[in-house]
Amino acid sequence: MKITLLDGQVKSYDEPRKVLDIAGDIATSLKKKCVGALINGKEVVPSEAMINRDCKLELITERHELFSRVVNYTAKLVTCLALERVFPEGEVVPYEDNLDTDEFFAFFDYEKGLKFDDLKEVELEANKIIKESLEFNFNTTSLEGYVEEMKKTGSSEEFINWTLDLNEKSYIKLAIGVLGGVPFLARYATLAKTSDLFKIEFTQLTGVSVENGDVQKSIYKIHGLTAISEKDFKELVEKIEEIKASDHKNIAKNLEIYHLDPLIGQGLPIWLPNGAVLKQEIKKYLMEKEFEYDFIQIETPVIGTSDLYKTSGHWEHYRDDMFAPMFLPKEEMVLKPMSCPHHISVYNFKPRSYKDLPLRFAEHALQHRYESSGSLTGLERVRAMELTDSHIFVRPDQVKEEFKRCFNLIQEVLATFDIKVDYLSLSLRDPKDKEKYFDDDKMWNNAESELEDVLKEMDLEYKKMPGEAAFYGPKLDIQAKTSIGHEITVSTIQLDFLLPQKFDLKYIGPKGENERPIMIHRGLVGTYERFVSVLLEQTKGVLPLWCAPKQVQIIPVNIVANSDYAEQVRVELRKNLIRSEIDKRDERLSYKIREAQVRKVPYQLVLGENEQKNGTVTYRTYGSEEQITVSLQEFIDKLREKIDRKVYG
* Nearest residue (CB) to Zn ion, 272 versus 366: 366
Q: How far is the CB of 341 from Zn ion (least distance, A)?
A: 9
Q: How far is the CB of 343 from Zn ion (least distance, A)?
A: 7
* Nearest residue (CB) to Zn ion, 475 versus 521: 521
Task: Tell me the CA end-to-end span of the chain in Å, nearest whole number.
Answer: 65
* Nearest residue (CB) to Zn ion, 18 versus 391: 391
* Nearest residue (CB) to Zn ion, 104 versus 471: 471
Q: How far is the CB of 493 from Zn ion (least distance, A)?
A: 11
Q: How far is the CB of 338 from Zn ion (least distance, A)?
A: 5
Q: How far is the CB of 391 from Zn ion (least distance, A)?
A: 6
Residues 209-228 that bind Zn ion (CB under 5 A): none
User: Beta strand 104-109 with 215-227: parallel, antiparallel or unpaired?
Assistant: antiparallel
* Nearest residue (CB) to Zn ion, 176 versus 387: 387
Number of H helices, E strands in the chain: 20, 33
Residues 145-164 that bind Zn ion (CB under 5 A): none
Amino acid in position 500: P
Residue 64 found at the interface with Zn ion (CB under 5 A) = no
Phi, psi angles (nearest 5°) of residue 581? -145, 140
* Nearest residue (CB) to Zn ion, 147 versus 340: 340
Binding residues, as ranges, are 340, 391, 521
Q: How far is the CB of 285 from Zn ion (least distance, A)?
A: 22
Number of residues that bind Zn ion (CB under 5 A): 2
* Nearest residue (CB) to Zn ion, 130 versus 387: 387
**Closest-CA residue to 525 (of 289, 321, 340, 297):** 289
Binding residues for Zn(2+), as ranges, are 340, 391, 521
Sign of the dihedral defined by the CA atoms of residues 276, 278, 281, 284, in that order: negative
Among 76, 187, 352, 521, binds Zn ion (CB under 5 A): 521
Q: How far is the CB of 442 from Zn ion (least distance, A)?
A: 22
Cβ distance 128 to 110 under 8 Å?
no
Give me the half-sphere count of Cα atoms (radius 13 Å) on the Cβ side of residue 479. 20
Q: How far is the CB of 491 from Zn ion (least distance, A)?
A: 13
Q: Binding segment for Zn ion among 62-70, 298-306, 515-523, 590-598 (CB under 5 A)? A: 515-523
Say how far apart CA 198 and CA 231 lie, in whole Å.
10
The 315-354 site mask, x for binding Zn ion (CB under 5 A), equals -------------------------x--------------
Label residues 55-94 b or e (16+ Cβ within 10 Å = b): bbbbbbbeebebbbbbbbbbbbbbbbbbbbbbbeebbbbb
For residue 508, what are the contacts with CB-CB under 8 A and spacing of at least 6?
Answer: 351, 352, 353, 354, 514, 515
Q: How far is the CB of 2 from Zn ion (least distance, A)?
A: 48
Longest dimension (CA), the chain: 96
* Nearest residue (CB) to Zn ion, 223 versus 521: 521
* Nearest residue (CB) to Zn ion, 187 versus 336: 336
Say how far apart CA 275 and CA 254 lie, in whole Å.
12
Label residues 413-422 b or e (16+ Cβ within 10 Å = b): bbebbebeee
Kind and range of the H or E run holding 162: helix 157-168
DSSP characters for 228-265?
A: SSHHHHHHHHHHHHHHHHT-HHHHHHHHT-EE--TTT-
Residues 252-281 that bind Zn ion (CB under 5 A): none
**Closest-CA residue to 359 (of 390, 315, 389):** 390
Q: Is 453 helix (H, G, I), strand (E, B) or coil?
A: helix
Say how far apart CA 39 and CA 171 lie, in whole Å.
9
DSSP characters for 331-368?
A: -EEEE-S-SHHHHHHHHHTS--BGGG-SEEEEEEEEEE
Residues near Zn ion (CB under 5 A) are 340, 521
